[in-house]
Structure 1
Amino acid sequence: MSATIQPVILCGGAGTRLWPASRGARAKQFLDIIGKESLFARTLDRATGAGFSAPLIVCGAEHVAMVREQSQGRDLRLIVEPAARNTAAAIALAVASSADDVLLLVMPSDHVIADVAAFRGTIAKAADLARDDWLVTFGIAPDRPDTGFGYIASGAPLGGAGFAVARFVEKPPLADAEAMLREGGYSWNAGIFLFRAGRMREAMLTHCPAIYRAAEAAVANALHDGDALHAASAPFEQAPSDSIDYAVMEKDARVAVVPVSMGWSDLGSWQAVHALAGADASGNACSDDLFAHDSHNCLVRAPGKRVSLVGMDNVGVIVDGDDILVIALNRSQEVRAAAKARA
């Protein structure tokens, strides 16, 4: 078995939760939401170096140009999805393209991980579990009873490296989230996975054969263009659209969770962006020209504009071209209504 780990970076999705900045080919993962580097570039950075082979990027055709531009000449491979079919089918493409004994580290391209050393140390610890044919998922130590994440319950310990998964919990109501936090032994589901390709292949053939067979045929009939494999559309479009959690992880009997604290955020809303953005003494975060009078805990993202706030609290102002979003930050999840109306 190869001693190196193959990073698989899932780079699809339009990121409408951060509309209007994120949309179409200029999706969330390609934006400099926090700091000067894009989220995709940050993901590449933490999955590059000793112990990792060249990253494998799974993306849609509309994102290929941006992937190439932001990878800045790095050695990588691309698998181009001909249609959006959720995470199970995207991962199946990577599995169908890999030898059985390769360890695949699957991660989204649009998350923030502040403590990269903790991330890499946890990956190394989890590798033995993956080699022992556990499907490993990484759980984030929760610091609040958040209803926006799924949870993973830890079961029996696995030699100090992690725990067998007792159960997965869908996004809970607040009372349930508070109870899980009090009880302990629960992690947020970060959507980061490590497994042996052959083991996941077997699991998919058991739990979601239609998805795997569609991906397998799409790879077998793919067009090759240099470092890019363009999956065949006809078979791939037959794949059911399911998440990897629903299709495999919640059904398999040999799933492990490795809890980790690594400064993780999925930046899943403008409220989450505000929490990580550099704010002034009044809690206002803006890297542009802002005048704030009697205003607190606001987020302003309006490149090249002069924004003035008077008597505003917990408000986001996002300007992108002709689109202006003004939103109560505690209702950030409702931005999709505006994105849909303005599409």
Structure 2
Amino acid sequence: MITPIIMAGGSGSRLWPLSRTHYPKQFIPLVNDNSMLQNTINRLDKLSKNHPIVICNNEHRFMVAEQLRELDVKNASIILEPIGRNTAPAIALAALQAIGDGRDPLLLVLAADHVITNEEAFIDSVNNAVVAAENGKLVTFGIIPKHPETGYGYIKQGKEVGLGLYNVDSFIEKPNLEKAQEYLKSGFYSWNSGMFLFKASTYLDELKKYNAEIYETCKNAMFSSFSDLDFIRISKEIFEKCPDDSIDYAVMEKTDKAVVLPMDAGWNDIGSWSALWDIHQKDDKGNACRGDVILDSTSNCYIYGQNKLVATLGIDDLVIVETKDAILVANKNKVQDVKNIVNRLKVQNRTEYQKHQEIFRPWGKHEKIADGERYHVKKVIVRPGEKTATQIHYHRAEHWVVVSGTAKVTNGDRTYLITENQSTYIPVGSAHSFENPGKVNLELIEVRTGSYLAEDDIVRIDKDGEGY
């Protein structure tokens, strides 16, 4: 009985401008039409029918819930970390949730942003680890290296214990090139994938033994947790006192129950744009492209066009990524330094490192179309049966035009319906909300006018949908 634990935190800054703080890579369709999170969940179909436990940041909760809804995944537990405290506490929260109903399942711990191209080999590896995990071992999956990689940590395998498993001799930090070449040649090392299989009780017992502070803090945090819509909220006051530590440092490097199972399943953690180029199908000149792209005298490039036609001429070994509000052009051998651009955006207090123009909410989403000194235009989509919060603005008026669907409008003391090609006006100071009573998405155009148009000009009268 396997319960998937999917860690969906992280910012993925090295894949900017597509991946951003409020919309990181795990929620983006990078390799096919599904997001990385959705691919991770789909990969589990042949392994487990148990409801997954997803751990994510509070800021990402609506994207997680929406992407699970798109896959018709029901009854998943979504644990919201109020503050990041690394993998050891995150997994502890999930383990405590998993044993809350009296069961003691095997936990398959996965990151939401990994690519696995050979899913059959992945499933076989997990199945081969089940017996060891049931017998109290903490199984980590090592990736059989294909080249001397300096960007990953390594696991050195010790004595074989059967079924392709080995005792863990040691965990090794990212090596230099010379060491990585030695590791590859020896055949005794694998890349540290950060994937695990173990009984919930085994992990908690070992955590309690080797890092009691993390164990007790997480236990207290889960004891004081509460349900909020689709989410399990953890006390920030308690959890922020938890030590920040990885599962490797807190448990795996100290326990005598750690074993490693080398895996060859086409694994990649997509840590850079060049990694995406590596796994994508390429044309006869080595180019990997997505979107509307025209190439001329171009070779060995990765080109991603999100909204516009991207045309190239006479270039080689470049990464070009186009989004609605930013374009990246980088040498393919320098893409690990994209984080330097992100850091400069932070220093300049620009929003492009944080969010895209499209923002997800519990009731749907909205996207900026245009703005000026005294106006701001958005496209808003409200899902069937959903409703925005009732709210008041003191510095702006709003005009709403229905493009498709039907809107039930509350405007002051009036409630009325408007449908396609109809509009309504919300004056300054009028309490208002929009609801979709229909069976299809409600699409509207919102035009704000006034002297102050920022998002913080809002007073919520109720909490339905949490407004914007």
Structure 2 CA distance for aligned equivalents of residues 19 and 59 of structure 1: 20
Which structure 1 residue ranges, 5 or more long, are not aligned?
none
Q: 1:67 aligns with which of 64, 67, 71?
A: 64
Structure 2 CA distance for aligned equivalents of residues 48 and 170 of structure 1: 33
Deviations 1:31-51 (A, max 9, x none): 110111111100011123554
**Greater Cα offset, 18-27 or 168-177:** 18-27
Q: 1:17 aligns with which of 14, 27, 45?
A: 14
The structure number with the bigger radius of gyration is: 2
SS in structure 2 at match of 1:83: coil
The answer to whether the aligner puts 1:83 opposite 2:51 as a matched pair is no
Structure 1 CA distance for aligned equivalents of residues 167 and 148 of structure 2: 23
Structure 1 CA distance for aligned equivalents of residues 63 and 160 of structure 2: 42
Deviations 1:157-187 (A, max 9, x none): 1122410011111100000000111111211
TM-score by length of 1: 0.95
The answer to whether the aligner puts 1:57 opposite 2:54 as a matched pair is yes
Would you say the 8 A contact 2:58–2:80 is kept in 1? yes
- Structure 1 residue 226: deviation in Å? 4.8
Partner residue, 1:204 = 207
Deviations 1:277-297 (A, max 9, x none): 222111111122333333211
- Structure 1 residue 15: deviation in Å? 1.1
Q: Which has the higher helix share?
A: 1
The answer to whether the aligner puts 1:43 opposite 2:25 as a matched pair is no
Structure 2 CA distance for aligned equivalents of residues 244 and 138 of structure 1: 14
Q: 2:123 aligns with which of 120, 123, 133?
A: 120
**Greater Cα offset, 18-27 or 138-147:** 18-27
**Greater Cα offset, 102-111 or 311-320:** 311-320
TM-score by length of 2: 0.70
5 Å-filtered alignment, 1:71-220, equals 71=68, 72=70, 73-75=72-74, 76-99=76-99, 101-220=104-223
Partner residue, 1:30 = 27
The answer to whether the aligner puts 1:8 opposite 2:44 as a matched pair is no
Letter in 1 for 2:34: E
Which structure 2 residue ranges, 5 or more long, are not aligned?
347-468
Structure 1 CA distance for aligned equivalents of residues 28 and 203 of structure 2: 32
Overall identity of the aligned pairs, in %: 38
The answer to whether the aligner puts 1:275 opposite 2:278 as a matched pair is yes
State the superposition RMSD in angstroms.
1.4
Would you say the 8 A contact 2:4–2:48 is kept in 1? no
Partner residue, 1:316 = 319
Structure 1 CA distance for aligned equivalents of residues 288 and 117 of structure 2: 19
Would you say the 8 A contact 1:7–1:52 is kept in 2? no
SS in structure 2 at match of 1:294: strand
Q: How many residues align?
A: 340
SS in structure 2 at match of 1:143: coil
Would you say the 8 A contact 2:5–2:107 is kept in 1? yes
Deviations 1:168-216 (A, max 9, x none): 1110000000011111121111100011111111111122222222211
- Structure 1 residue 221: deviation in Å? 0.4
